[in-house]
Amino acid sequence: MTIHTTLSRRQFVVSTLTAAGGFALGVGTVPAEAASLSVRPWNDDTTRYPGEINAWVVIQPDDTVIIRYGRAEMGQGSFTALPQIVAEELECDWAFVRPEYASANRNFRENKVYGTLATGGSRAVRETGVIVQQAGASARERLIAAAAKRWNVPTAECEAAMSRITHKPSGRSFRFGELAAEAAAIKLDKEPALKRPDQYKFIGRRLARLDVPLKINGSAKYSIDLEVPGMVRAAVMKCPVFGGTLKSADESKVTSRRGVMQVVKLKDAVAVVADRTYRAQAALKALPIEWEVGAAGTTNSAQFRKAYLDALDQKGAEARHDGNVDAALAKAAKVIEATYDVPIIAHAPMEPLNAIAHVQADRVDVWVGTQNADQALSFAAQASGMKPENVYVHNTFSGGGFGRRLGPDEVAQAVAISKAVGKPVKLVWTREEELRQGRYRTQAAIRFKAGFAVDGTATALEMRNSAGAANPAGVKDGIDPQTLQGLINTAYQLPNYRIISILKNTHVPLGPWRAPGHSQNAFFMESFIDEMAHAAGKDPVQLRRELLAHRPDFQQVLDVLVEKGDWGTPMPAGRGRGIAITEAYDSIVGMIVEVAVKNGQVKADRVVIACDCGTVVNPRGVETQLEGGMIYGLSAALFGEITIKDGRVEQGNFDTYPVVRFKDAPKTEVYISPTPGKRWGGVGEPGATVIQPAVTNAIFAATGRRLRSLPVVGQDLNGAV
């Protein structure tokens, strides 16, 4: 199954693009041919090529431009967007661009030369964009300097375009590939200035994604698809009560099964190793296992829900206080109060977690589609006892991540199993394992109080929030900034505003779920803002405009939403429109949702999305992330609920953990409305936030029922309309 077909790969991509039509980029200065991505875009070797101009850019003698990509590609498209930014400054021919994953091993050995390889916080373009833009500009200037030196002319007489440096007065030119090794040796006195946005000719283009041709014919390689010589396969089950340990596993019941090689007992898990995945999975099902579950084995969801709601009465920590909320509420003409809560939810990426590990005497290799190659390296080092500098992580395409692949538990397990059996091992989780061994979005509750003046002006807003911290190490003085995202940094301005945070963790492991913090907090905040509008007798858009009067960028997003979303136009009985807006990861995203409620069933028919994310690298990339984020959040709003019984997760697959399918997916329109001069906003996560309150606000508009808990499914809307 080894595939080394760089040349035929290129030919394939070109012929596919031609056949499809409409993808030729050949206008003006834009190259006619697309860059290409390998079906295996990771670099197994650590060769330092002579044409490595900096850690991000390598130019080969044949003009191929290798652009290192320091994030995961799990569907979000930045494997195309970041090289697009490099190419803008480098002035290379896009046809020569061949991106590949940056090496995690090198990142460790060379003191974080690529920064963090973790892919979270919608940071790929938002944070790495300017770094790789500078790397591209630096490479260009050094190529120019190398050419000027050869010709003995001033650099000002030379210019870069389409992978050539040309001496303008004489018309002489060199290919980039002829200059790369010399350019690599050149030191610049100072780093060149970056292009101004009005000079961009490549950033902002609706380029085709480089990975799409590989994803329509089954050729893209995810770690689950790989095979290494001598590999065996494993299935694993971890103690279903989080924190529990393995008491016993009677391997004699399965070792005689065909293909079964070994039962590996870990402290908190047991794995069956076999020659085939199916045989390992079937044997694991047949394996008698006993667990030591401890006190957590008696817990259930009803207890947890009560505990989070009860916690709202605890003292907590003051996370923010503007003005004097107590005084303002005391003299308010009207005060309203409401309590909201959300359950635990799981990530459920399409590709179940999996990894291949090969532990040898002097090195560990891991093949894994991970959102966090740095962490994968560190987990592999811990699990093997090897020094981190001897661990190599070969990052592959990921079949979705959404935060789950930030905590590479599967890597630690695969390494431990490989160490135990002395062979390369491919470990594949079942869907059941994936849903039952998550790093979940926290259960959370919140109680709001709002005060109004006689004229309906909102004067005070207070909230007491109880939620878990996904990263207890980030907690300081009882406050976790991630847990409070969207509340602590709200764009709404009220003279009196207070947040009390009550952090509460249980035995359920928590992790970042697409837009952590923002996800549940947008539901809370945007639902209660809606309640405040109705309490004050105001249109929900009007109250938002008032509280955002200081933010013209928000106002223009609201303008777009109101116009495109037909806000204010009548809806037939049983239908309603809801709005929600927030700022997350430097982007403003608002949505208007139309729902129909019939016989207690809710269907989202249409969603209009408006976004100000500042500079747009690839408009289609922004659109698809907002569309996809919206669907992800819609699954949570309509269906998302993990329940605990006897300390363990009850759901196991898509039959008991339903997600949005075609029939649930609304017609969607996206309008990108950037404010000039703003920084590059992240778009991977914000879409997953405001859909949740927009749906429940629409249900309120349709039925008069205010849903203060999620998910929507199972709640009584019968008789509402």
Partner 1 sequence: MVNISVNGTSHQVDVEDETPLLWVLREEIGLTGTKFGCGIAQCGACTVHVNGQAVRSCSVPVKTVAGAQITTIEGLSPNSNHPVQQAWLTEQVPQCGYCQSGQIMATVAFLKTNPNPSDADIDANLTNICRCGTYERLRRAVHRAAALMRT
Q: Which of residues 342-401 bind partner 1 (CB under 8 A)?
A: 348-352, 397-401
Q: Which is nearer to partner 1, 165 or 592 (CB)?
A: 592
Which of 99, 629, 682, 686 lies at the binding interface for partner 1 (CB under 8 A)? 629
Q: Is 12 in the site for partner 1 (CB under 8 A)?
A: yes
First to last CA, the chain: 58
Q: Is 74 in the site for partner 1 (CB under 8 A)?
A: yes
Q: Is 286 in the site for partner 1 (CB under 8 A)?
A: no
Q: Among the candidate windows 110-118, 187-195, 561-569, 657-665, which touches partner 1 by CB under 8 A?
A: 657-665
Contacts of 249 (CB under 8 A, 6+ apart): 263, 265, 270, 287, 288, 289, 290
CA-CA-CA-CA torsion sign (557, 558, 559, 563): positive
Minimum Å gap between C-beta 350 and partner 1 is 4
How many Cα atoms occupy the beta-carbon half-sphere of 102 within 13 Å? 34
Contacts of 606 (CB under 8 A, 6+ apart): 593, 594, 666, 667, 668, 669
Q: How many residues bind partner 1 (CB under 8 A)?
A: 72
Q: Is 42 in the site for partner 1 (CB under 8 A)?
A: no
What gap in Å lies between CA 48 and CA 95, rounded to an integer? 23
Rounded to 5 degrees, φ, ψ at 80 are -95, -40
What gap in Å lies between CA 200 and CA 217, rounded to an integer? 34
The side-by-side arrangement of strands in the sheet containing 158-161 is 158-161, 164-167, 173-175
Minimum Å gap between C-beta 212 and partner 1 is 5
Which of 195, 363, 431, 564 lies at the binding interface for partner 1 (CB under 8 A)? 431
Q: Is 1 in the site for partner 1 (CB under 8 A)?
A: yes
Minimum Å gap between C-beta 643 and partner 1 is 19
DSSP helix/strand/coil, 45: coil
Q: Which of 712, 681, 499 is closest to 600 using CA atoms? A: 712
Please give the sequence-ordered ranges of beta strands (E in DSSP) within 376-473, or none if there are none: 391-395, 425-428, 444-452, 458-467
Site string for partner 1, 291-330 (x = CB under 8 A): ----------------------------------------
Q: Which is nearer to partner 1, 102 or 220 (CB)?
A: 220
What gap in Å lies between CA 219 and CA 426, rounded to an integer? 19
Q: Is 528 in the site for partner 1 (CB under 8 A)?
A: no
Which of 19, 156, 473, 573 lies at the binding interface for partner 1 (CB under 8 A)? 19
Q: Is the separation of the CB atoms in 448 and 528 below 8 Å? A: yes
Q: Which is nearer to partner 1, 327 or 350 (CB)?
A: 350
Which of 276, 598, 645, 679 lies at the binding interface for partner 1 (CB under 8 A)? 276
Q: Which is nearer to partner 1, 450 or 626 (CB)?
A: 626
Q: Which is nearer to partner 1, 79 or 304 (CB)?
A: 79
Q: Is 20 in the site for partner 1 (CB under 8 A)?
A: yes
Residue found by looking up tokens 């009803």 in the block: 302
Q: Which pairing describes strands 65-69 and 97-101: parallel, antiparallel, or unpaired?
A: parallel
Which of 248, 278, 333, 489 lies at the binding interface for partner 1 (CB under 8 A)? 278
Q: Is 99 in the site for partner 1 (CB under 8 A)?
A: no
Q: Is 522 in the site for partner 1 (CB under 8 A)?
A: no
171-190 residues near partner 1, rule: CB under 8 A: none
Minimum Å gap between C-beta 653 and partner 1 is 5
Q: Is 510 in the site for partner 1 (CB under 8 A)?
A: no
Q: Among the candidate windows 19-27, 104-112, 236-244, 709-717, which touches partner 1 by CB under 8 A?
A: 19-27
Q: Is 660 in the site for partner 1 (CB under 8 A)?
A: yes
Q: Which is nearer to partner 1, 217 or 298 (CB)?
A: 217
Q: Which is nearer to partner 1, 396 or 485 (CB)?
A: 396
Site string for partner 1, 247-266 (x = CB under 8 A): -----------x--------
Q: Which of 517, 552, 581, 580 is closest to 678 using CA atoms? A: 552
192-211 residues near partner 1, rule: CB under 8 A: 208-209, 211
* Other C-beta atoms lying within 10 Å of the C-beta of residue 14: 16
* Other C-beta atoms lying within 10 Å of the C-beta of residue 288: 11
Q: Among the candidate windows 162-170, 217-225, 247-255, 555-563, which touches partner 1 by CB under 8 A?
A: 217-225
* Other C-beta atoms lying within 10 Å of the C-beta of residue 30: 15
Contacts of 325 (CB under 8 A, 6+ apart): 460, 461, 462, 496, 497, 498
Site string for partner 1, 230-249 (x = CB under 8 A): ---x----------------
What gap in Å lies between CA 378 and CA 381, rounded to an integer? 5
Q: Which of 694, 126, 372, 497 is closest to 484 using CA atoms? A: 497
Q: Which is nearer to partner 1, 157 or 669 (CB)?
A: 669
605-624 residues near partner 1, rule: CB under 8 A: 620, 624
Q: Which is nearer to partner 1, 376 or 630 (CB)?
A: 630
Per this entry, what is the length of the chain?
721
Q: Which is nearer to partner 1, 632 or 700 (CB)?
A: 632
